[in-house]
Amino acid sequence: MLARGLSILRCFRPGESQLPLSEIARRADMPKGTAHRIIAELVQEGMLERGEKGLRLGVGLFMLGARVPRQLMLRDLAFPYAEQLHRLTRGSSFVFISDTLGPDAALVDAVRRAYGAGSELGVAETWASRQAATRVFHAYGADDDVLPYLSARMTDGEAARVQRQGFVAIRSAAVAVGVAAPVLTASGSAAGALAVAGPKAQLQVGRVAWHLRAACAAVSRALQRNPELVSAS
């Protein structure tokens, strides 16, 4: 039952606020009746909530996730640098950790630029940044099994190139570009990533990458001085 409940919670992907019961059952590969019973228990425990268009992740799940030590500590270390990156680049800045339960980098916090009414730029920036961070985690030793939905698989040569240059830049199909760099443990694996995104016409990738690598190096040094966080990652 626990495994089935977790499979239902994992059905929700970034950017999906609600899902109908039929789609949850399909993604979790279980009969609708079984999904309905498990969902009822998850709703009772606050892990899911009922919305106008289906089910959504609940506040109880958010409160539980907010207690994860690695997320809290890495966020505390990295967020001041995210604020600095926002000021230096005038782009939106993001803090990610690797998501061992899903295909994407997990967004921990962000400092976003102001958007005009009805602008889709914010969505495009978040998408490009998450894709860039996901590829950073892939290049620095993330397990292929947790990154099955990358739009283009990364070869060993591509991973080596990312490690040499120290960042990944992803351009969305719309108007944004996202640049991400790794926060490294002493063993050289990526415990997290910082990213910056903005309009293609305004964001200078080379300049942003320079600031990103400097910020990530500083966070990495702080991370490696914290044995508790390093062991947790």
Note the pLDDT tens digit of each residue in 159-201. 889 999 999 999 887 789 999 999 998 888 888 899 999 998 8
Q: Collect all residues with Cβ–Cβ distance below 8 Å to 169 and sequence separation of at least 6.
A: 132, 177, 178, 179, 205, 209
| Superfamily of 68-232 according to CATH | GAF domain (3.30.450.40)
Q: Are 163 and 142 in contact (CB under 8 A)?
A: no
> CA torsion angle for 159, 163, 165, 171 (degrees, to 10)?
40
Looking at the chain, which residues constitute the CATH 3.30.450.40 domain(s)?
68-232
User: Alpha-carbon distance 215 to 219, whole Å?
Assistant: 6
Note the pLDDT tens digit of each residue in 134-147. 999 888 865 444 34
Q: Along the 233 residues of the chain, how does pLDDT read in single tens digits?
A: 788 888 888 888 766 778 999 999 999 999 999 999 999 999 998 889 998 889 988 877 766 766 666 666 788 889 999 999 999 999 999 999 876 555 567 888 899 988 754 467 888 898 899 999 999 988 886 544 434 444 445 677 888 899 999 999 998 877 899 999 999 988 888 888 999 999 988 899 999 999 999 999 999 998 888 755 544 44
CB atoms within 10 A of CB 101: 9
Q: Which of left, alpha, beta for 153 (phi over 0: left; psi -120 to 50: alpha)? A: beta
* pTM of the predicted protein model: 0.70
Looking at the chain, which residues constitute the CATH 1.10.10.10 domain(s)?
2-64
The hierarchical CATH code for the domain 2-64 is 1.10.10.10
